A and B are shown apart, each in its own frame.
Chain A
Amino acid sequence: MPHTRTPVVDGWFAGEGDGFRLLGTRCSSCATVFFPREDVHCRNPHCDGGSLEEVPLSRSGRVWSYTDSRYRPPSPYVSDRELPWEPYALIAVELEAERIVVLGQAAPGVTVADLTVGMEVEVVPGVLHEDAETAWTTWHWRPTGVRA
């Protein structure tokens, strides 16, 4: 069993259980939100640029679209080539407050047959893959109210 949990990317999400959130940044001058986070300069061309402060994104949003990966993606995606490929769903989610669409993998067990455009989903902690030492953690989208 792996004994450390490491985020697949630093600083993109934090928290446990119901407190889990994606982390973006917000410009203190124009209030534009960035995910993945911008930490150097605001990208709004109409903004002179304020400081960029870390901000948690909304926990839930609505499905903008979805698909799945029926074939094993190429590297740098990591998967166990000894095992048969298990397709997983990808969901693009519209967050109303941030007016942004964020892509993510669906939680294990959620298939395209479970999804419709416009349905509510929430962000939950997940594991992308594990090796001998490390569980590489990520975010997943899961239909609201469904428990793992």
Chain B
Amino acid sequence: MDVAVLGAGMHPWGKWGRSFVEYGTAAARAALADAGVDWREVGSVVGADTVRGGYPGYVAGATFAKALGWQGARVASVYAACASGAQAIATARAQILAGLADAVLVVGADAAPKGFFRPAGGDRPDDPDWLRFRVLGASNPAYFGLYARRRMAVHGDTPEDFALVKVKNAAMGALNPYARYRKRVTAEEVAASAVVADPLRLLDICATSDGGAALVLSSMEFAHRRGVTRPVRIRAVSTVTPRFPNTVLDLPDIATDSAVAVGAPDETFRASIARAAYEEAGAGPGDLSLAEVYDLSTALELQWYEDLGLCGEGEGAKLLREGATAPGGRIPVNASGGLASFGEAVPAQAIAQVCELTWQLRGTAGDRQITGARVGISANQGLFGHGSSVIAVR
């Protein structure tokens, strides 16, 4: 069930003020060059849509295909908010495994607005995302603040623990040429930054960024024909939805499901995202060399440690303080620098996670290299109930 990762490419994250098409096309050209594959050989292109620019990213796949030069490839485009990139990878993989294409180009790119993300305009009371802004003014950081406070109350996490996540990720981001923020940060600097959504401060919360990421995926046979005998392989792609009742308040909802008729499931939605990936890969947390998780906030990174099974419930901060998730630790997390160093370029982000896994598993991650990396997992969650986790091996 493996597909090969032949190439990975990115456009640096930042606030460049140019079109997402430019970022995506640059990332695509880099991935094709990395793969040694001519664009004209690509049988299918899958785009992860941005909601910026109208017509969800000009219906992304075709816009990138046009920019690269029409060559008649099959096209698909997907949107799943933050999980869009994983769905693009899942679509490409399904086409390869079904024999519909030998080599598929996956591209996601965004040009983000300044400040808070906001819903599309108009008067749209049927849209939960519109409603939470209209009725509550509940921005994304407000939800991150709720989760962080809940962890403090239930698990005893502290703002100092949260700051340590930023310190760790900023140190790695400083080594990553694709990261937007390349400066180390101290715990004192986090504590001195403005509170955005109590208890979280500006440096606890990821920015919104421009950026682009791309992958060239292929069948194992195609890779072998190209003389790539030991490619990085994608072994699992989890794109699960929650199970009723979803009892953790999720973006953009105003309330949870009620558990009065059916009891809460044994595991949360986020934990089920990882479990589905582990089951598909025939692997478990003990097999991992590294993880790339969606640190929309510092506190959320700690939550992912537990949801990925890297430690028990409530033990995320302890795992961090022990240094287990730093380079040289048992299970380094966000060796790329994470969203803390990138900021979020929504449709590119889950693809960028897999780019980092690819470079780490190849042993070509430069100063960020995790020694002997063999198995990596990525995890993220998209608005409205989109799971996203990829396991890659070499």
Contacts and interface: CB of A to CB of B under 8 A. Distances in A.
Given A45-B244, A65-B147, A128 B135 contact: yes
Q: Determine the main DSSP class of A at the interface with B.
A: loop
Contacts of A9: 125, 131, 135
A80 B261 CA distance: 43
Given A68-B197, A70-B197, A74-B139, A99 B125 contact: no
A54 B49 CA distance: 39
A33 B260 contact: yes
A92 B250 CA distance: 11
Interface stretch (B251-259, B269-277, B351-359): B251-259
Interface stretch (B7-15, B67-75, B149-157): B149-157
B255 A36 contact: yes
A39 to B, nearest CB: 12
Contact of B249 (A47, A75, A97, A103): A103
A77 B259 contact: no
Given A8-B135, A103-B136, A76 B254 contact: no
Interface stretch (B111-119, B159-167, B229-237): B111-119
Contact of B260 (A32, A71, A101): A32
Contacts of A46: 244, 262
B150 A75 contact: no
Interface residues on B, range: 35 or more
B356 to A, nearest CB: 30
B255 A74 contact: no
Interface string B182-216: 00000000000011111110000000000000000
Nearest to B196: A70
Given A73-B137, A75-B133, A117 B258 contact: no
Interface in B298-353: none
B229 to A, nearest CB: 46
23 contacts: A9-B131, A31-B261, A32-B258, A32-B261, A34-B258, A35-B255, A47-B261, A65-B146, A66-B146, A67-B198, A68-B198, A69-B139, A71-B139, A75-B118, A77-B134, A99-B245, A99-B258, A100-B255, A100-B259, A102-B254, A103-B146, A103-B253, A128-B135
Ranked nearest first, the 4 interchain pairs of A and B with the lowest CB-CB distance are A67-B145, A73-B137, A117-B153, A74-B118
